[in-house]
Structure 1
Amino acid sequence: MKTLYKNTISLYLIGVCCMLIFATSCKKEKEGQGAPSITRVRTLVRPGDTNVTPLDSTVTSGDVGVTYVIEGVNLKSTNKVEFNGASAYLNTALFSDNSIIVMIPTTATWINQTGKLTLTNSYGSTSFSFSIKQPAPVISDLSQFAGNPGDVITITGLRFDQVSSVKFGTTEARVVSSTSTELKVTVPTGALGAVSVTTPGGTGTGPYVSYDGVVVPILLPFGFRHLFYDDQITAGYDFNFGGADADVNNTEMVKRGNHSIKLTYTGSYAGYAVGSNTPVDLIDKTYVKFSIYGTTGTEGKVVKVALGDFDNRNVSVVLHAGKWTNYVVPIDRFQSASQPGKPTSVNWIGFQELSGNAPETIYLDDIGVY
């Protein structure tokens, strides 16, 4: 009797366990079954932040490259998520039956968009109203970084769609033509300062350049507060030493206008400078600006740029072959232990060959301070 009783209890327990396992198995099998449905899209809580923040909120539009949470039902078996037709990368480890985490792909377009988020699994698909925000514009280059009123210059970059404003400093410019990556604008009277482009995505300024490829890129402003060389040496003089030959009326390779300086270093470490007969006050100036075109063999070579002192007030810049490169260097970087502090005035700006690379030819244009 005792044996029979124990066997009965054992069989009962085994049956209960089987029922629990079967029930759990059925629940797992049912997860993700059925057509998906979206109830909302929200942003993620900042990692490590235990407080409720504005980031954890319902949104109806989003930015490319940003991660969002899609909430709904039957989401665990999702095999495709599309934002305006662009497929997002799916990490199933971030899926549950009621939420999935995805990043809007950088290929998702905000131009002529459908405004639809589409989610698909093996049982069907669903769409949800969700638009892509236009990112802020980016300015990568200007065809010239100085000019006369009425000159038409080209601004290149990204996301110029639906441009509403272009400014030089605080002065509005007239847009002649526009595409997503290029603007042609007329230089306004009084153009001076950072160039900015405004679209529905925001406002972008630029371009930013690094004079040696190492320093953090610096905003390159438009215009000059004093020019040492434009199409000619401006009210001043020039000099050379150690085997430098300068043609100040060169027409072979010109950045802007009709002339540039063709500078040929026939001796290594030779130098050349353009100056002003009257010292130029630097108290209200911020940058030294100039353009250099490097010929074949100059890529990666170094030129020392000096403010009235080749030994103590100089900065080294890196050349690039086959193109005009615009340089901007903060004036307060022209100092040494022997000559500390930002220079308050300058008579000349010099360029010395520093790589021992002679013979070497470069072209100079638009030399001045801002």
Structure 2
Amino acid sequence: MKQFIILLCGLAVLGSCRKYNSLGFTPGKGAPTITSVHTWNKTDTALHYDTIVTYNSAGDTTLKVNVLSGNAYAFDSVTTAGNPGQYYMIYGANLGATVTVAFNGTSAYFNRALMTDGSLLVSIPQNTPTSGPQATDTLTITTLYGVVRYHFVVIPPPPTVNSVSDYDFWSGSQITLKGVGFSTVTSVGLSGSSDQATIVDQSDTVMTLSFGASAVNRCNLVFSYSSAGTPATAVSSQEFVDMDNAYQIVFNSNFQNTWFDNSWTHPSGITSGQAHAYGGTASAQLNYPAGAWQIEGWACWNAPSGGFPYDPSYKYLTFWVKGGTVNHTLVLVGDKLPGGYSQNTSAAAIQQIATTAGTWTYYKIPLGTGAGQLNYWATGTLAQQLGFFLQGQSGDVNELMYIDECAFVK
């Protein structure tokens, strides 16, 4: 019995020793210190070459070539600034008993299996504040035996637009952008010009811009901002349309350029009410009776030219469409489109306009003649009609849909 008790005690002691040494080192009990922070990885884009020389028996050079080196070339990875989402190695002393690591007060993930008493691998959280009172440029490590603070700048992400309130602008209009990195933006330009938008309001995730008169047809937004104290620029992936310079059909709460309602069912045409407008106080209504094979649309044969003449400088047809009570697919039709202004049940994919119930959706359709292009003037150079066909089906209900900010864009 005594032997059994001794054996248990021995196992208990052995188990406790293994638990204490499970990290592979003994954490220091002194106050923690940080000596430097290093990038965890870095791509060396420079090509390094070794020179190979061969000689003949007389000692003369017979061949001299440069070949890519197989050797590793060191680089200095010490840094005092880092990007959210990336890993960094912290060097110091007495780090083995670390409890938390924080950047600007935001706790960061670290893997205990990849730490030593003198180093710690950590990833900067994506939600780390980079502006405002919380952006203290402080890396804080808390251990069982103390706290150390180290000056370290979390670099703001470049201005990135994730969503917009509108892809169209005009003199006096405003657009709200949502994304990240807006707090350090100092100005916003319009690509391809010297024109600028005015910053009305901004935070790190939301920015509102006001637009004046401009000569651009289409543009991206060019953000000037500061990255760790260095001036930088970023360009939006989204393209925006200046409606003032477009050929407008439905805009500013009315038909434009002599276009008028040419729908098959009434009430139709322009309908007022903020709930049915995207950029103004009214939009064009599309009225589809239940089960009907119906075209709702517009015409412009009263224009001075007799219609909308072919012009290769126009590149896109753009519009917002608000769906009805259920999801539908409309077919874009026109008198000079392939298939004409007809009840087209086998239209090309480019003509199929998916609508979502009760939701505004933006369309920007290329007008060219190649594959995946609308080819708006396919059968003639003077277009006079544009509409939307809905194929009726059993079980349909009466549908009202809306079109706004419809224009041809250069």
TM-score (norm 2): 0.68
Counterpart position of 1:211: none
Counterpart position of 1:301: 328
Write out aligned runs for 1:150-189 (5 A). Answer: 151-158=172-179, 159-169=181-191, 170=193, 171-180=195-204, 181-189=206-214
For residues 295-319 of structure 1, what are the alpha-carbon distances to aligned partners after superposition, in whole Å with 9 as ceiling and x for unaligned?
3x23x33222345235555432322
- Could you list the runs of 5+ residues in structure 1 that have no partner in the other structure? 1-20, 208-218
Write out aligned runs for 1:130-149 (5 A). Answer: 130-149=152-171
Q: How many Å separate the matches in 2 of 1:346 and 1:94?
A: 71
Which residue identity lines up with residue 367 of structure 1 in the other structure? C
Shift of 1:51: 4.2
Counterpart position of 1:325: 361
Counterpart position of 1:360: 399
Shift of 1:64: 1.1
Counterpart position of 1:200: 226
**CA shift in 2, pair 1:138/1:275, >3 Å:** farther
**CA shift in 2, pair 1:188/1:53, >3 Å:** farther
Describe the SS at the equivalent of 2:307. Answer: strand
Number of matched pairs: 328
Which residue identity lines up with residue 353 of structure 2 in the other structure? V
Candidates 324, 327, 350, aligned match of 2:387: 350
Counterpart position of 1:281: 310
Query: For the aligned residues, what is the CA RMSD?
Result: 3.5
Which residue identity lines up with residue 264 of structure 1 in the other structure? N
Write out aligned runs for 1:98-117 (5 A). Answer: 98-112=118-132, 113-117=135-139
Q: Is the 8 A contact 1:142 1:153 kept in 2?
A: no
* 2:279 is the alignment partner of 1:256: yes
Q: How many Å separate the matches in 1 of 2:374 and 2:173?
A: 41
Q: How many Å separate the matches in 2 of 1:156 and 1:168?
A: 15
Shift of 1:200: 2.2
Which residue identity lines up with residue 131 of structure 2 in the other structure? I
Shift of 1:126: 1.2
**CA shift in 2, pair 1:333/1:362, >3 Å:** farther
Q: Is the 8 A contact 1:32 1:77 kept in 2?
A: yes
Which residue identity lines up with residue 228 of structure 1 in the other structure? I
**CA shift in 2, pair 1:70/1:52, >3 Å:** farther
Q: Is the 8 A contact 1:335 1:341 kept in 2?
A: no
**CA shift in 2, pair 1:119/1:358, >3 Å:** same
Candidates 249, 255, 276, aligned match of 1:232: 255
- Could you list the runs of 5+ residues in structure 2 that have no partner in the other structure? 1-16, 46-70, 228-232, 301-305
Describe the SS at the equivalent of 2:113. Answer: helix
Counterpart position of 1:292: 321
Shift of 1:333: 8.8
Q: Is the 8 A contact 1:292 1:324 kept in 2?
A: yes
**CA shift in 2, pair 1:333/1:78, >3 Å:** farther
* 2:91 is the alignment partner of 1:71: yes
Shift of 1:157: 1.0
For residues 141-167 of structure 1, what are the alpha-carbon distances to aligned partners after superposition, in whole Å with 9 as ceiling and x for unaligned?
444443442x13132213321431123
Counterpart position of 1:44: 40
**CA shift in 2, pair 1:238/1:249, >3 Å:** closer
